[in-house]
């Protein structure tokens, strides 16, 4: 994050707000919300392609499936943008809220089951996100230097060794999903440590030569691979729930401790309540029959299309 953005957010936390500062935070908020929508849309399109395909090989070549992958990429780019302007914990919680959109939209499109408790969980998630966004602040990002880069690479190596060992030797999905969540959290931390300010050419050079950028890619690849393994070995509900909580709390707490994120004065209890509501809603919805049905994980044939 640039120094100017850090100063702006710091002044916002102190109560001195101007139009530029608000605009900076609004950009981050909008990017995170659209990223959640893009990820949910990707899940819906990929599910739709799976239902329409007559054979497995036909799924990956389906235009609908490829459109879903494109939305996944768009969602990731927007998440990166949001992480430049908002606290990690707020961005990660908002993006994890894609489960809310997916469960409700899948009921409307695919006629998947929707319980009353799912609606309560969705409302709790929205309220929690509002409290998180209202209470979180971002200060100046400390200069990590060589020590921070080495620490990031060491964490990547440890997670890679542990994750690969789990994938090869264990059949349990939840521990694998936990390590996947830590890996995805690592991408958020790496984004915050990257210096992406300056002309396009300078940014491109940074991305190609900075070890932090290499670590970011490594965390993303490791997280995606382990998440895929976890989904193949366990029920989608627990896997998604563990992933969402881990990829939000681990980097979020690190951001609060070391990366300049903070909580507005007097808003500590509201921040905690918002985090509990947001993540609690995600956990409930991740275990919803709608989520399992959308993933074909309910032990029965996937429901027919309702409006698609």
* pLDDT in the model for residue 7: 43
- Residue in 223, 239, 245, 244 with CA at minimum distance from that of residue 297: 239
Which residues fall within 8 angstroms of residue 64, CB to CB, at 6 or more apart? Answer: 45, 46, 48, 49, 52
Is residue 278 scored above 80 in pLDDT?
Answer: yes
Summarize pLDDT for 225-251 with one digit per residue, the tens: 998 888 778 777 788 888 888 999 999
The residue ranking higher by pLDDT, 57 or 111, is 111
Summarize pLDDT for 47-63 with one digit per residue, the tens: 777 766 656 556 667 78
How confident is residue 289, by pLDDT bands cut at 50, 70 and 90? confident
* pLDDT in the model for residue 307: 42
* pLDDT in the model for residue 291: 74
pTM: 0.78
Q: What are phi and psi of 137, to 5 degrees?
A: -145, 160
Q: What are phi and psi of 97, to 5 degrees?
A: -65, 0
Which residues fall within 8 angstroms of residue 50, CB to CB, at 6 or more apart? Answer: 59, 65, 296, 302
Q: To the nearest 10°, the Cα dihedral for 98, 197, 195, 190?
A: 0
* pLDDT in the model for residue 125: 92
Across 66-91, average pLDDT: 88
Is residue 218 scored above 90 in pLDDT?
Answer: yes
């Amino acid at each position: 994050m640039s120094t100017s953005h850090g100063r702006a957010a710091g002044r916002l936390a102190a109560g001195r707000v101007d139009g530029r500062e608000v605009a900076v935070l609004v950009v981050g908020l909008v990017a995170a919300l659209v990223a959640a929508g893009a990820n949910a849309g990707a899940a819906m399109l990929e599910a739709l392609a799976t239902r329409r395909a007559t054979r497995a090989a036909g799924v990956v070549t389906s235009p609908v499936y490829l459109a879903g992958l494109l939305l996944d990429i768009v969602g990731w780019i927007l998440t990166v943008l949001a992480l430049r302007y908002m606290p990690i914990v707020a961005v990660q919680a908002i993006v994890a809220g894609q489960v809310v959109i997916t469960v409700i939209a899948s009921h409307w499109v695919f006629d998947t089951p929707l319980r009353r408790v799912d609606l309560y969980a969705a409302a709790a998630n929205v309220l929690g996100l509002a409290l998180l966004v209202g209470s979180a602040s971002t200060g100046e990002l400390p200069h990590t230097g060589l020590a921070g880069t080495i620490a990031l690479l060491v964490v990547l190596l440890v997670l890679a060794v542990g994750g690969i060992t789990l994938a090869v030797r264990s059949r349990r999905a939840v521990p694998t999903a936990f390590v996947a969540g830590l890996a995805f959290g690592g991408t958020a931390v790496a984004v915050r440590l990257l210096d992406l300010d300056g002309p396009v050419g300078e940014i491109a050079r940074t991305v190609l030569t900075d070890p932090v950028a290499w670590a970011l890619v490594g965390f993303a690849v490791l997280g995606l691979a382990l998440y895929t393994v976890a989904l193949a070995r366990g029920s989608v509900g627990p896997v998604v729930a563990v992933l969402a909580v881990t990829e939000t709390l681990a980097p979020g707490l690190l951001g609060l401790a070391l990366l300049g994120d903070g909580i507005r004065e007097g808003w500590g209890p509201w921040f905690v309540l918002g985090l509990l509501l947001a993540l609690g809603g995600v956990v409930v919805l991740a275990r919803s029959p709608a989520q399992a049905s959308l993933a074909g994980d309910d032990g029965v044939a996937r429901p027919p299309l309702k409006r698609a």
